[in-house]
Chain A
Amino acid sequence: MPPLSHLFLGAAALFWLVLPLAALFDGQHTHRRAWSALIGLGALTLLGAAVTVLYARPESLTLPLPFFLGTAPIAFHLDMLAAWFLAVIALSSGPAAFYLHDYMEHMKTRTDMRVFWTALPLLLLSMALVVLAANALTFLIAWEVMSLSSFLLVATDHRNASTRQAALVYLGATRVGTAFLAGGFLWAHALTGSWVFQNWHLAGVRALGPGLLLLTGLGVKAGMWPFHLWLPAAHPAAPSPVSALMSGVMVKTALYAIVRLFLFSRAFAHPAFGYILLILGSVSAVWGILFALIQEDIKRILAYSTVENVGLILIGIGGAISARFLGVAGAVQLGAAAALFQILNHALFKSLLFLGAGSVDLRTHTRDLTKLGGLGKRMPYTFGLFILGAAAICGLPPLNGFAAEWLLYQGSLHIAAQGTTPLLRCCGVLMIGQTALVGVLSLACYTRALGVAFQGRPRTRAAEEAKEASRGMLLAQGLLAAGCAGLGLAVPLALSILQRLVTPLAPNAVPLASVWTLPMPMLALLLVFTTGGIAMWMESAARRQPVRKFITWECGFGDLTPRMQVASGSFAQPIARMFSAFYRYAIHLHIDGVNRRLFPEEITVETKTGAVLETRIYHPLVRWVDRAGDWIVQMQAGSIHLYLLTMFGTLLLLLAIGGFTR
């Protein structure tokens, strides 16, 4: 009798493996509803597996002999950490299943849906396998399936040139990431002689080489600065449910590997990793949200905000690793718990926001803020759910984002108050200030997105004629929103699970339950009752004196046009100017007319922002690679002599290497 978790996992795999076959054979793709249901069922069984593992002991599973990877078996390991991430995958992909059917309807004329319905379950399955993999080879194969299936999904709308471009950028990023990852695994194998993660115990200088390679490879996938460039390219191009999965879950698999290898199993133990993650996490957080603030495309805003959230999570992980080396047990536990909690939270609210952006895209055919406006009246439920998601991601209480940010603050405060060295305590203070800055920047960012897209008057006809999203799409968002609100109130429950996860890291620390003393349910009740009471009183007063509707105040100069509203660029202008050094922000004002100063006839204002990283580093790099490619292509000119020479040269090289290493 196999354990219950195996049954659940087997069922999930079955559901998600049947789907590609069905999709391939059903060329007319008539059963999209059934396929969505299969995705949902898979997610449900995966959640079942996660729950059984969370409340039982760890399980291992090695596939029998015909399934073998040369030097290592296909092996899986199900422990609590893996279960936590399985739950993240399930909770984010389950609701998306309700969304898929209606959303993909409009894509069917533009692309071959069989590819989509094959790649999607493969992506889900491979994410689960990445989390479960017990050795490096299994991990790498699952990782590759994940990268390639997500590439196919990004390229769904491939008739569009910009989508092709984005998909190529993404493919390039995954190739670079996998190369580093493979290098790191090979190096670690050379040092330890084993592929199994649990047998890796490298410490000191020996850990640095493979560890840094792995961090780079995982950082590319996680969207860590400075490797975050693929996110704002790929997320807008992909269909929204796919962006939700990629941003909400897929980047988390890279974070999983970081947590697993650098924090939990201590495969690579060196304090430098903690500092590197802290610094890069801090830069990612600030950089991501600053660039989110000036984007015009809703999904690009969300993509950059993912960079920010990944940064916050990395701060938690990096803080925990450094605190562990410096013997601040309380901060280890708080940092790890904050990171793991934020991973779950971000999967929920970022999926919610991406699905909301997808609804807007579907109903208005644009994601450009400058062409939206006034959607709140036309799509009231989407608007409400988007507000909730935005509030959650900004960490507003009593929603779930607050709990994770609070834990991060507590960890920083712990370091600031009880750090073992003065430098460490100063770091704690800096982390507090930085988290506060990131919080208030993200508030500005989401206020802007909401205000320009959903409020005011529609700026184009498309926005004016928008209709509410379908019920299935709203249901998906509603489930995720309920998750955000519920998790915000059920923090003690989440903490009790997290406690069991992080206790091995810091056995002597004060339990999380006694750290978290905030009475959130009471606060929520108090807020709801006060708000409700005053609202009822306002309504009864409004019945006596009806609320009169009138035009928006226009200073008596005649009707306002939608163009006179604030634009997305002008809302961000004061902030962009404050941080102009980061953006290379510039305003070009040009005034034309006979008497320019007093009677201008034409005024043009153009703002320009540039991303230093792209223009100064990546573009030259890509150009260089391109040129190298041109040069290498000459070898593939069809000349048989050249091919023979290449083969002979390779043979000689291999022989030489073999001879020298022997």
Chain B
Amino acid sequence: MRFASILLLAFYLIHALTLPLLLAGVIQFSKSRFLNRQGPPLLQPFWDIAKLFSKGEIISETTTGVFRLAPIISIAVMLCTALMIPWLGVSAPLPGDLFLIIYLMAVEKFVTQLAALDAGSSFGALGASRKAAVSIAAEPAVVIALAALAAHAHSSSVSLFLATGPGSANLFVLLLVVAALWLAVTAELARMPVDDPTTHLELTMIHEALILENSGRNLALREFAAAIEMTVLFGLIARVLLMALPPFSPVTAYLLSLGLILAAGVALALMESILVKLRWRKIPSLLSFALTAGIIANLIVVLKG
């Protein structure tokens, strides 16, 4: 029993450390193909991150200790979250609670924004301010959407409400939750149509502006944490989607989750290839769709039960 749980922990850790980079590679690769370009090899992000880890850091002399500590806290928090959500299709090694996970992710947001403000650069501050504004619209949508499942299962334990079998949850509810999560999560992750990760004009960006001052190992940790966040959240969406189907054996569930996470990457690449970035002022109305979908899902659950 003890051995099995250690094995599960190792299984999740290995995936948390490799899959995010693979997902980043898949996104880059498919985006290039959508644009009729050759694109970098699939495993390029591994080399990129290895290169960054081997480089030294340059930091601004204005910074305090927060600047170098923040990426470390981010990645520690992200790894903890990755161990609490059953994003690989099999049960997670640590017991996870919906609200604990949301607030752990808020810790990551908090330290990231503080680090961005630390150098006194107006770019970093713009990024932090925008990140805060996007979160204000997106995070309640995430909470509300997942609360529909929690209210259905009468529990906020993630493994419990994801495990309530199929059929008991209405298919329509699941689709609404997935739609809400997808909209809100892509906004939180600073992807299109809220933020374009490929341009390098810091003035208009969220993610790039936040990490403008980071370099070398510091930057590597920061990017790694962001990649883990994306993978884990995609895995969570995949799990919600899989609830619509009858239960699988663990191996099938694992393979399906893996496939869906990578497919989400391809879908994101497709979205980023065909969509244009929204004007900043339109973002709240975009995210209000996510919130509305979440509220409708809740109403169905609550009024039915």
Contact = CB atoms under 8 A, between A and B. Distances in A.
A549 B61 contact: yes
B41 interface: no
B128 A552 contact: no
Contact of B64 (A383, A405, A518): A383
A376 interface: yes
A547 B59 contact: yes
Interface string B276-299: 000011001000000100110011
B213 A553 contact: yes
A550 B61 contact: yes
Interface residues of A, number: 80
Contact of B156 (A377, A410, A437, A578): A410
Given A518-B97, A519-B95, A523-B80, A422 B303 contact: yes
B99 interface: yes
A325 to B, nearest CB: 20
Contact of B76 (A439, A531, A574): A531
Interface string A470-492: 00000000000000000000000
B133 interface: yes
A479 to B, nearest CB: 22
B59 A527 contact: no
Contacts, number: 248
A271 interface: no
A604 to B, nearest CB: 19
A416 interface: yes
Nearest to B118: A455
Interface stretch (B31-39, B136-144, B239-247, B258-266): B136-144
Chain A interface helix/strand/loop/mixed? helix
B268 interface: no
A391 B151 contact: no
A534 B58 CA distance: 18
A394 interface: yes
A433 interface: yes
B125 A433 contact: no
Given A374-B62, A519-B95, A429 B119 contact: no
A391 B73 CA distance: 13
Given A394-B110, A396-B106, A406-B99, A535 B72 contact: yes
Given A413-B150, A428-B151, A573-B129, A552 B119 contact: yes
B126 interface: yes
B191 interface: no
B104 interface: yes
Given A395-B103, A437-B140, A571-B128, A429 B120 contact: no
Interface string A427-455: 01100110011011101100110111011
B129 A570 contact: yes
A397 B140 contact: no
B42 interface: no
B207 interface: no
B17 interface: no
A557 B147 CA distance: 49
A60 interface: no
B151 A447 contact: no
A174 B97 CA distance: 43
Interface stretch (A38-46, A252-260, A560-568): A560-568
Nearest to A541: B217
B7 interface: no
Given A373-B120, A547-B56, A550-B58, A566 B106 contact: no
A545 to B, nearest CB: 4
A538 B68 contact: yes
A440 B66 contact: no
B114 A451 contact: yes
A14 interface: no
**Among the interface residues A444, A545, A548, which one has the most CB atoms of the partner chain B within 10 A?**
A444
A594 B150 CA distance: 62
Contacts of B59: 547-550
Nearest to A457: B120
A-B interface, 9 closest residue pairs, ranked by CB to CB distance from nearest? A456-B120, A566-B125, A451-B117, A545-B56, A530-B76, A574-B133, A444-B132, A436-B143, A376-B64
Given A551-B61, A577-B281, 10 more contacts: A395-B103, A409-B99, A425-B305, A457-B120, A518-B100, A523-B80, A531-B72, A531-B73, A549-B60, A575-B129
28 contacts: A391-B107, A402-B103, A422-B303, A425-B302, A425-B305, A426-B299, A428-B151, A432-B143, A433-B295, A436-B143, A437-B136, A443-B106, A444-B133, A447-B113, A455-B114, A456-B118, A456-B119, A456-B125, A517-B95, A517-B157, A527-B76, A530-B79, A548-B59, A550-B60, A552-B120, A553-B212, A560-B121, A565-B125
Interface of A: 373-374, 376-377, 380, 383, 387, 391, 394-397, 402, 405-406, 409-410, 413, 416-418, 422, 425-426, 428-429, 432-433, 436-437, 439-441, 443-444, 447-448, 450-452, 454-457, 517-519, 523, 526-527, 530-531, 534-535, 538, 541-542, 545-554, 560, 562, 564-566, 570-575, 577-578
